[in-house]
């Protein structure tokens, strides 16, 4: 290969340092020696702070704390064999703490491997047990991408330790500058949020708690969730208990802190929310006698594999603590119910083989994401043309066909209150033929959104309804279930998840009669509260 003989050469050590710098690394702790000394020099030259320590163990502990305190992993630089062995303590500790860390170890020349080289050790294998990623670049050109992957892996998902092995021959090799391509700095970890239905479920479990307790772990500290968690504690007036390193996420002297009565708080709680704390020995595995045998755990963690360890949680919220806490805050006032609460409870009871007929705006759109279909041709909705008023006709046909083909198969018709209005009187047809359809009217007093009764009344003080009522609103608290009872079917008016659960299971159990459940939800659900801005126009 004829290279450009005049081109500038760069040694592996400089490539390593530049790759670290490019990935946002700012701190390096280590003990120099063959073959990593040049890496320390090169890093320092590029403006990475280098702290020379006296033992790799302490160096690695130091580097791991940088990852906890800042938004990038610190680097621990160690020599081959015994140097790396000393660093294992720090790697193990960081990995167990779920702290990001990057260890870079020099190793013997590849050509001497298995020959009894100086300080030879199978380092990549050795580190595997104490890290989430352990690898060696195949060439000097592979250094930037492997460093990027190690830095990224240390921070993404559950944070932890990563190891990159640097054989002496790669550190020392010189290549043309132009043969190295640096990989752009990896992006901050993507923020994941919990499933909407699980968030509603958690809010409902928490709302029904008699002795709730929030446990704040070092995961919450790492997630920088202090503001969101404090808001949740204060707005919901919840007592909290920090774990040892969860201390300070909310100040210890906060009036809701029950740290002084730790044992009692753990023992009496009937619902416990875990924000980034594992149910390991520190928390007595979540088991009696330190906890009530019937305690309900709501687990918030970024690591799916952690959910369900040692206990069977009541609700699991997989996601970033900061984001999940904000989700929880948003759904805090979930009476009146919102769409997610409603569909969560409906989905729980739907027979797998049922027809799901649906129409409406939010009702259909949000319902589609939560309500599951398991069979082809069993979902019928507003379709290509976005037609409102198709629902009851579709449901009637499905019920008539099901009667012939598969008696006992249910038809569930999920309607928005506005959509229901387009063909509501087909309920008479349903009753005339006694089709055991379950009609759900998700009622928000309007088209897209409506008003509650009090607001409606206040509004009418400003003038005649034709002048002041927004064209979107329908009559608040309309008792659509009476359309069903008018013709002899069963009608229910429900306002809480508990009522919904009960009425739905009754309706599904009764295969002899149609029923209509009128489900009141927050009139402004999915929307921000509005000002009376239309009242400022010339119509009043």
* Residues of this chain that bind ligand ADP (CB under 6 A): 97-98, 158, 217-219, 222-223, 243, 245-246, 276-278, 280, 282, 301-303, 306, 320-321
Residue 230, contacted partner among Mg ion, ligand ADP, none, CB below 5-8 A by kind: none
User: Does 518 interact with Mg ion (rule: CB under 5 A)?
Assistant: no
We find the least distance from the C-beta atom of residue 450 to Mg ion, in angstroms, to be 6
- Lookup result for tokens 């008023």: 389
Residues near Mg ion (CB under 5 A), total: 4
Residue 336, contacted partner among Mg ion, ligand ADP, none, CB below 5-8 A by kind: none
Residue 369, contacted partner among ligand ADP, Mg ion, none, CB below 5-8 A by kind: none
Build a one-symbol-per-residue string for 360-399: x at contacts with Mg ion by CB under 5 A, - elsewhere.
----------------------------------------
Contacts of 242 (CB under 8 A, 6+ apart): 215, 216, 217, 248, 249, 250, 252, 257, 259
Structure tokens at 317: 């919220």
Residue 475, contacted partner among ligand ADP, Mg ion, none, CB below 5-8 A by kind: none
Closest-CB residue for ligand ADP?
A: 219
Taking the least distance from each CB to ligand ADP, the nearer of 77 and 91 is 91
Alpha-carbon separation of residue 502 from 346, 476, 482, 506 (angstroms): 11, 24, 18, 6
Taking the least distance from each CB to ligand ADP, the nearer of 157 and 421 is 157
Distance, in Å, from the CA atom of 395 to the CA atom of 403, rounded to the nearest integer, reads 12
We find the least distance from the C-beta atom of residue 329 to ligand ADP, in angstroms, to be 16
Taking the least distance from each CB to ligand ADP, the nearer of 122 and 248 is 248
Contacts of 522 (CB under 8 A, 6+ apart): 336, 337, 338, 444
CA-wise closest residue to 371 among 401, 398, 339, 346 = 346
Structure tokens at 153: 């892996």
Taking the least distance from each CB to ligand ADP, the nearer of 263 and 536 is 263
Taking the least distance from each CB to ligand ADP, the nearer of 301 and 426 is 301
Q: What are phi and psi of 127, to 5 degrees?
A: -80, -15
Binder to Mg ion among 416, 476, 489, 523 (CB under 5 A)? 416
Taking the least distance from each CB to Mg ion, the nearer of 241 and 366 is 366
Structure tokens at 461: 């003080």
R_g over Cα of the chain: 31
Contacts of 144 (CB under 8 A, 6+ apart): 15, 18, 19, 22, 180, 181, 182, 183
We find the least distance from the C-beta atom of residue 272 to ligand ADP, in angstroms, to be 12
We find the least distance from the C-beta atom of residue 518 to Mg ion, in angstroms, to be 12
User: Does 417 interact with Mg ion (rule: CB under 5 A)?
Assistant: yes
User: Does 316 interact with Mg ion (rule: CB under 5 A)?
Assistant: no
Structure tokens at 247: 């201390």
Neighbours of 460 (CB within 10 A): 12
Q: Taking CB under 5 A as the criterion, which residues in 422-481 touch Mg ion?
A: 444
Task: Name the one range near Mg ion by CB under 5 A: 114-122, 374-382, 414-422, 508-516.
Answer: 414-422
Taking the least distance from each CB to ligand ADP, the nearer of 93 and 358 is 93
We find the least distance from the C-beta atom of residue 530 to Mg ion, in angstroms, to be 15
Task: Name the one range near Mg ion by CB under 5 A: 403-411, 412-420, 492-500, 511-519.
Answer: 412-420
Taking the least distance from each CB to ligand ADP, the nearer of 41 and 285 is 285
We find the least distance from the C-beta atom of residue 446 to Mg ion, in angstroms, to be 5
Asked if 413 contacts 397 with a C-beta cutoff of 8 angstroms, the reply is no
DSSP string over 64-98: HHHHHHSSS-EEEEE-TTHHHHHHHHHHHHHHHHT
User: Does 415 interact with Mg ion (rule: CB under 5 A)?
Assistant: no
Distance, in Å, from the CA atom of 29 to the CA atom of 61, rounded to the nearest integer, reads 9
Taking the least distance from each CB to ligand ADP, the nearer of 307 and 397 is 307
- Lookup result for tokens 């930037």: 144
Taking the least distance from each CB to ligand ADP, the nearer of 150 and 245 is 245
Residue 444, contacted partner among ligand ADP, Mg ion, none, CB below 5-8 A by kind: Mg ion
Taking the least distance from each CB to ligand ADP, the nearer of 278 and 410 is 278
CA-wise closest residue to 399 among 364, 370, 367, 357 = 357
Distance, in Å, from the CA atom of 41 to the CA atom of 62, rounded to the nearest integer, reads 19
User: Does 246 interact with Mg ion (rule: CB under 5 A)?
Assistant: no
Alpha-carbon separation of residue 49 from 105, 290, 311 (angstroms): 18, 46, 44
Asked if the peptide bond before residue 199 counts as cis, ω within 30 degrees of 0, the response is: no
Binding-site ranges for Mg ion (CB under 5 A): 416-418, 444
């Amino acid at each position: 290969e004829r290279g450009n003989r005049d081109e500038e050469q760069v040694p592996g050590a400089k490539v390593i340092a530049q790759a670290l710098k490019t990935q946002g690394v700012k701190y390096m702790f280590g003990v120099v020696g063959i073959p990593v000394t040049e890496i320390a020099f090169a890093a320092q030259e590029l403006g990475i702070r280098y702290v020379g320590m006296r033992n790799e163990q302490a160096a690695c502990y130091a580097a791991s704390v940088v990852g906890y305190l800042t938004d990038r992993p610190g680097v621990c630089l160690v020599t081959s064999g015994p140097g790396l062995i000393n660093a294992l303590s720090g790697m193990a500790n960081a990995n167990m703490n779920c702290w990001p860390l990057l260890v870079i170890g020099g190793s013997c020349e590849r050509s001497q491997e298995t020959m009894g080289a100086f300080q030879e050790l199978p380092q990549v294998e050795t580190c595997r047990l104490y890290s989430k990623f352990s690898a060696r670049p195949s060439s000097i050109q592979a250094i930037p991408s492997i460093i990027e992957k190690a830095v990224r892996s240390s921070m993404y998902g559950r944070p932890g330790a990563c190891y990159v092995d640097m054989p002496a021959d790669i550190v020392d090799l010189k290549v043309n500058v132009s043969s190295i391509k640096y990989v752009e700095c990896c992006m901050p970890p993507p923020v994941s949020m919990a499933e909407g239905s699980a968030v509603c479920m958690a809010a409902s479990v928490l709302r029904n708690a008699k002795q709730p307790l929030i446990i704040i772990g070092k995961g919450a500290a790492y997630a920088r969730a202090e503001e969101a968690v404090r808001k949740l504690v204060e707005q919901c007036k919840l007592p909290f208990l920090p774990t040892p390193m969860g201390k300070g996420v909310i100040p210890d002297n906060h009036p809701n802190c029950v740290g002084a009565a730790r044992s009692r708080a753990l023992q009496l709680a009937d619902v416990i929310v875990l924000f980034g704390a594992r149910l390991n020995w520190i928390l007595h595995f979540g088991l009696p006698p330190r906890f009530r045998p019937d305690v309900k755990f709501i687990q918030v963690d970024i690591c799916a594999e952690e959910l369900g360890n040692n206990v069977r949680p009541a609700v699991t919220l997989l996601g970033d603590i900061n984001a999940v806490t904000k989700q929880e805050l948003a759904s805090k006032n979930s009476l009146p119910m919102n769409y997610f609460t409603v569909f969560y409870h409906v989905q729980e009871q739907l027979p797998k083989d049922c027809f799901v007929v649906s129409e409406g705006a939010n009702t259909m759109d949000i319902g589609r994401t939560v309500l599951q279909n398991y069979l082809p041709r069993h979902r019928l909705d507003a379709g290509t043309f976005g037609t409102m008023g198709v629902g009851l006709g579709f449901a009637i046909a499905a019920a008539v066909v099901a009667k012939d083909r598969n008696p006992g198969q249910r038809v569930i018709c999920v309607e928005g209150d506005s959509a229901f209005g387009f063909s509501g009187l087909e309920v008479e047809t349903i009753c005339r033929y006694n089709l055991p359809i379950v009609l759900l009217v998700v009622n928000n007093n309007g088209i897209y959104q409506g008003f509650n009764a009090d607001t409606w009344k206040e509004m009418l003080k400003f003038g005649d309804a034709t002048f002041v009522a927004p064209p979107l609103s329908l009559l608040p608290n309309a008792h659509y279930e009476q359309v069903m009872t008018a013709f002899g079917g069963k009608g229910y008016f429900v306002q809480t998840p508990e009522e919904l659960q009960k009425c739905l299971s009754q309706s599904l159990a009764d295969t002899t009669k149609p029923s209509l459940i009128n489900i009141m939800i927050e009139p402004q659900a999915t929307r921000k509260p509005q000002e009376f801005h239309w009242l400022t126009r010339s119509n009043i």
